[in-house]
Chains A and B, each alone.
Chain A
Amino acid sequence: MMMSIQKKSTHGSDNFSGLAKSILMDMYKYMVKSRVLEERLIKIYRAGESFFWIGGPGEEAWGVPLGMLAKKGQGPKYDYLHLHYRCSPTLVAMGLDMLSSVRLMMNRSTDRSTGGRNFSNHFCIPEWNIAPVTSPLEVQYPIACGTAHVQKRTKGSQAITIVTGGDAGTAEGDFASSLILASRKNQELPMLITVQNNKWGISTHYEGQHGETFIADRAKAFNIKSQVINANDPVESYIAIQESMDYIRKTGKPAFIEAMVSRLYGHSSASGANPIADEIDPVKEFERRLIKADLLSLSDAKNIWEEYEREGIKAAEQARTEPVPQAESIWDHTYADNENADWRKF
């Protein structure tokens, strides 16, 4: 759903970089929905109805604008998104319903992404060019180069490939592979390469692992247009993403964004999934800003949160009634068209 920056407008003393009220309110709603969804998933885990939670609370102000700006569709004429497991805000902004996420969390056979085979937030939605999210970190970066390579030769399209990942994963060689493959002279790839820097890799802090001042500096070494943004501000994210996308679509060359974000519930359920008090909460910050600018009332905000709470509860109730994968399905889809993969039957 491509959106453009509309006529510059002001909302009190905060002009939100000229973004239209409709965009601001859409961003807010998607951000709230994403947060409520992730908190619902954590509750499902705590209730013993799922084995593991990992997700993206704290990345809403980055992920939502990204999803709003992506050119959604299937095939090389639309944007490919190679996401990681903290990207539910992007998918919510692209139209993901809570039930789809809850089914994945509760490993139902109705789960549209994996049929109950993989962890929470390991999405796969071919109709929107959402490449399968993998648990191994950083493999999505060189894979993304492949979809961008196909897009580069696809006529009549300015579609791009978007890849996301965390800061800790950039230590993997695959990250460097993508910078090299995307930036080869006269063979540049139309890619938005991004890193969401929450300063943590499970329990290991950024400061002890990086000599570079910014991860974005590494992209500069490959002559890739590069910037660092405060991605706890959805307006800054929106503007930066849109500018970068415009550049890539126009030039066919890559751009890089290092998005500084929060990690609000730790790494995953393995580290407790408890709220972290000293991190900026981008949803609450944006909400305060909208209220201060008289774009949102307290009662409207309350209603929006409650509406999504109801949707989350309903989704869990629905998923609870749905079937789970059966033992005899383990061989399904080992090969295309369910060709026999069981050697006992050769």
Chain B
Amino acid sequence: MANMAQAIRMALHYAETNYELKDIFGQDVGAPLGGVFTATQGLKTTWNSTLDERGIIGMAMGIAMAGDRCVAEIQFADYIFNTIDLLKIAGNTLWCTNGQYNLPMTVMTPVGAGIRGSVYHSHSFDAWASRLAGWKVVMPSNPLDAYGLLLSCIKDPNPCLFLKPKALMRVRGEELIPGEPTDEKELKNMIDAPIGDRSKWKAKWPEVSEYLVPFGKGKITRAGDQITVVSYGRHLLLCNEVADQLKTEGYSVEVVDLRSIYPYDWSLIKTSVEKTGRVIFVNEDTEVTNFGEHLAYRVVQELFYHLLARPQVIAGKNVPGIGLHPHLEDASVPQKHDIEKAIREVCAEVP
């Protein structure tokens, strides 16, 4: 079973071969490293950019303006903030030109905590990204979705932001990518660059095929009827674990993997909350003007009379950074016990 880095690599290979993807670039994206998380090893169209995030995003916009498809990487989302006005312009170019210039570009960047990455390798970007009108924003929780969402991004005529949960880059999924060898070692031998001299190494790509996860389509990963838990990315897996654990105590938790942050699957949330009457939203971006707050607002506005308890948003603390020591990181971003506590509280609340 591929891990997420391998899944991203295979998606990029598929897009190079089938979608006329002509540029995959960013800091250390090309040979010899192939990305700091190895997600761009062995590909044909990778190249190393200057250490200049604005140069990377600007160039991606120009490439897209000239009609070619590209995937640009910002090495860590912590360093994307100085490009924010370029991202804004990329999102408003079609609108400002009254529909004349669309920008078919994908930006991918690792996000979130979970690797003891300290202040500048732990930032989240989903709440910020949700305010970039004109962009489509996705965040996978497993390798198969990473493959399908990335292909959807590259194929789309709009600017798309692919948020990679960095703590999941080595995590394997439960489902094979279409065409992926069943033997993990065989896949590794085919597409993982060797340690040491890589100058003569070439990837042997498996015959992967098209698999698209559409924008705005979430997925129920745990079925239940007592409470709905909506999450995405790294925290989706924590929510699954908590749901499984609480099941032994008789709780029935429905977990929704949103997958796509904008557009988002309101229909799935609505159907689930109408059934359970209770909902919490879980993510690790900071809590003030968090994307989960928008979803909670909408639940209150549209499903108020279905609710049996107040919705909760479980998010990162509104602090300037995530400190290196585990005590600091664990206190800053939601942990399993935080999710468990919230589920117990919301389920205990009586109208």
Q: Are A150 and B99 in contact (CB under 8 A)?
A: no
Q: B94–A149 contact, CB under 8 A?
A: no
Residue of B61, B89, B100, B267 touching A124 (CB-CB under 8 A): B100
For the complex, give the distance between the alpha carbons of A122 and B101 in Å. Answer: 14
Asked whether A150 lies within 8 Å of B52 as measured between CB atoms, the reply is no
Q: Which residues of chain B have C-beta atoms less than 8 A from A201's C-beta? A: none
CB nearest neighbor in B for A150:
B66
Cβ < 8 Å to A, chain B residues 44-62: 50, 52, 54-55, 57-62
Among the 9-residue stretches A93-101, A112-120, A240-248, A299-307, the one with 4 or more Cβ atoms under 8 Å from chain B is: A112-120
A277 contacts across to B, CB distance below 8 A: none
Distance between A235 CB and nearest chain B CB, rounded to angstroms:
32
Find chain B residues with CB under 8 A from A340 CB.
263
- Across the interface, B59 reaches (CB within 8 A) one of A115, A131, A134, A142, namely A142
Contact A134 B89 (CB under 8 A): yes
Interface residues of B in 86-106 (CB under 8 A from A): 86, 89, 93-102
Is B265 interfacial (CB-CB < 8 Å)? yes
Which residues of chain B are near A132, meaning CB under 8 Å?
93, 96-97, 100-101
**Cα–Cα, bound, A346→B258 (Å):** 13
Complex CA distance for A173 and B55, rounded to whole angstroms: 9
Residues of chain B contacted by A184 (CB below 8 angstroms): 50
Q: Is the C-beta of B304 less than 8 angstroms from some C-beta in chain A?
A: no
> Contacts A124-B97, A132-B101; is A142 near B89 (CB within 8 Å)?
no
The number of inter-chain residue pairs (CB within 8 angstroms) is 144
B326 at the interface (CB under 8 A from A): no
Contacts of B57 in A (CB 8 A): 142
Q: Is the CB–CB distance between A346 and B265 below 8 Å?
A: yes
Q: Size class of B's contact patch?
A: 35 or more
Q: Which residues of B contact A143 (CB under 8 A)?
A: 58-59, 61-62, 65
Q: Given A132-B93, A132-B101, A136-B89, are A174 and B50 also a contact pair (CB < 8 Å)?
A: no
Complex Cα gap A124–B92 (Å): 13
Residues of A near B156 (CB, < 8 A) are 336
Taking the closest CB of chain B, its distance from the CB of A342, in whole angstroms, is 10
Q: Is the CB of A146 within 8 A of B63?
A: yes
Instruction: Kindly specify which of A260-268, A314-322, A327-335 makes contact with the partner chain.
Output: A327-335
Contacts of A124 in B (CB 8 A): 96-97, 100-101
- A: number of interface residues (CB 8 Å): 49
Judge if A126 is at the interface, Cβ distance under 8 Å.
Answer: yes
Whether B60 contacts A146 by the Cβ 8 Å rule is: yes
Is the pair A151, B66 in contact by a Cβ cutoff of 8 Å? yes
* Bound complex: CA A122 to CA B86 (Å): 17
State which of B65, B134, B294 has its C-beta within 8 Å of the C-beta of A131. B65
Q: Are B96 and A117 closer than 8 Å at their CB atoms?
A: yes
- Given known contacts A150-B67, A341-B133, A333 and B99 CB-to-CB distance under 8 angstroms: yes
Interface assignment of B157: CB less than 8 Å from any CB of chain A: yes
Report the separation of the CA atoms of residues A118 and B134 in the bound assembly, to the nearest whole angstrom: 17
Between B96, B101, B156, B265, the greatest number of chain A beta carbons within 10 A of the residue's beta carbon is seen for B96
Q: A132-B93, A145-B59, A147-B66 are in contact. Are A177 and B134 (CB under 8 A)?
A: no
Residues from chain B with a CB closer than 8 A to the CB of A332 are: 95, 98-99
- Find out whether the CB atom of A146 lies under 8 angstroms from the CB atom of B65: yes
Cα(A173)–Cα(B102), bound, Å: 25
> Within the assembled complex, what's the spacing in Å between the Cα atoms of A117 and B85?
18
User: A147 and B65: CB pair below 8 A?
Assistant: yes
B37 interfacial by beta-carbon distance below 8 Å: no
Question: Are A333 and B263 in contact (CB-based, < 8 A)?
Answer: no
Chain B residue with Cβ nearest A154: B66
- A80 surroundings in chain B (CB, below 8 A): 65-66
Please judge, given known A-B contacts A144-B62, A147-B66, A149-B62, whether A333 and B54 are in contact too, CB under 8 Å. Answer: no
Q: How far is the CB of B165 from chain A (nearest CB, A)?
A: 23
B266 in contact with A334 (CB, 8 Å)? no
| Assembly CA distance A129 to B63 (angstroms) | 13
The answer to whether the Cβ of A141 comes within 8 Å of any Cβ in the partner chain is yes
Does A160 belong to the interface (CB within 8 Å)?
A: no
> Looking across the interface, which residue of chain A has its beta carbon closest to that of B66?
A150
A222 to chain B, nearest CB (A): 12
The answer on a CB contact under 8 Å between A76 and B66 is yes
- A residues in contact with B100, CB < 8 Å: 124, 126, 132
Report the Cα distance A80→B263, complex, angstroms.
33
Give the residues in chain A near B22, CB-CB below 8 Å.
153
Which of A118, A146, A341 has the largest number of chain B CB atoms within 10 A? A146
Q: Indicate which residue in A139, A153, A334 contacts B95 across the interface (CB closer than 8 Å).
A: A334
Bound: A226/B72 CA distance, A: 30
Contact with B along A123-139 (1 / 0, CB 8 A): 01010000110101001
> Residues of A contacting B59 with CB < 8 Å?
142-143, 145-146, 149, 181
Listed from nearest, the 10 A-B pairs whose CB atoms lie closest are: A146-B62, A142-B58, A115-B98, A150-B66, A333-B99, A336-B157, A177-B55, A146-B63, A346-B266, A146-B59
- Seen from chain A, the residues whose Cβ lies within 8 Å of a Cβ on chain B are 75-76, 80, 111, 113-115, 117-118, 122, 124, 126, 131-132, 134, 136, 139, 141-151, 153, 161, 173-174, 177-178, 180-181, 184, 332-341, 343, 346
